[in-house]
A = this chain, B = another copy of it.
Amino acid sequence: MTNTPVKNPSRIQMRNRRLILDSALEVFSRDGFGGATLDAIAKGAGLSKPNVLYYFEGKTEIYVTLLSQLLETWLDPLVELDPQGDPVEELLGYVRHKLDMSLELPAESKLFAGEILQGAPHIADYLKNDLKPLFDRKCSVIQYWIAQGKLPDIDPAHLIFSIWSTTQHYADFGAQVSVLLDEQDPAARAHQHLEKMFRRLLSPVN
């Protein structure tokens, strides 16, 4: 009866919604929200445009669905930062995890980057109500580590920004990176560089 079935999804619904979201991820991350078209998404999914609109209410709903699914998995590594663990290894593990995600899921990173770039119009509430509290908690953890003398004095919030920016750079600016580097796969050197950089930054001062 309802135009957009969500509950008790059949196998066909599961398959087609997945096809649509997969195609939409490519299109939105390549063309941006404004540049993306339902026709391109439908074509990529191998469906007709009205058929796509049978599964989603509109372009915006596809986009927001994609974003919210993304946010869950994307912020997960930050959640796992363990106050009980070794500070340097915890943070370096986080760097590695984030870099791996950027290298393996560049489209997701680009989708998120595009949304923030344009002022986060679709996820402003999420940033304020979900990300901000998590961010504050993790800043407190880092501050706690510093107070314990396990980390050098460093601004927790801006440290996290630096981790985010340096790791996501390989996805978001991948087009630039691949032109500037001579080697085809930057993964290994990126890992070595960030490992060395953040280890120096975080290891205790002599």
Chain A residues close to B by CB (< 8 Å): 30-36, 110, 113-114, 116-120, 124, 127-128, 131-132, 135, 152, 154-155, 157-159, 161-162, 164-166, 168-170, 172-173, 175-177, 179-181, 186, 189-190, 192-194, 196-197, 200-201, 206
Known: A117-B172, A172-B113. A193 touches B155 (CB 8 A): yes
Q: Are B119 and A30 in contact (CB under 8 A)?
A: yes
Q: Is the interface of A mostly helix, strand, loop or mixed?
A: helix
Q: In the complex, what distance in Å separates the CA atom of A206 from the CA atom of B206? A: 8
Q: Are A161 and B155 in contact (CB under 8 A)?
A: no
**A59 → B minimal CB distance (Å):** 12
Q: Which of B34, B127, B135 contacts A35 (CB 8 A)?
A: B34
Copies in the complex: 2
Nearest B residue to A193 by beta-carbon distance? B158
Known: A30-B119, A154-B196, A201-B200. A161 touches B169 (CB 8 A): yes
Residues on the B chain within 8 Å of A119, using CB: 30, 175
Known: A117-B117, A177-B161. A189 touches B131 (CB 8 A): no
**A107 → B minimal CB distance (Å):** 11
Q: Are A197 and B154 in contact (CB under 8 A)?
A: yes
Q: Which of B124, B135, B179 contacts A132 (CB 8 A)?
A: B179
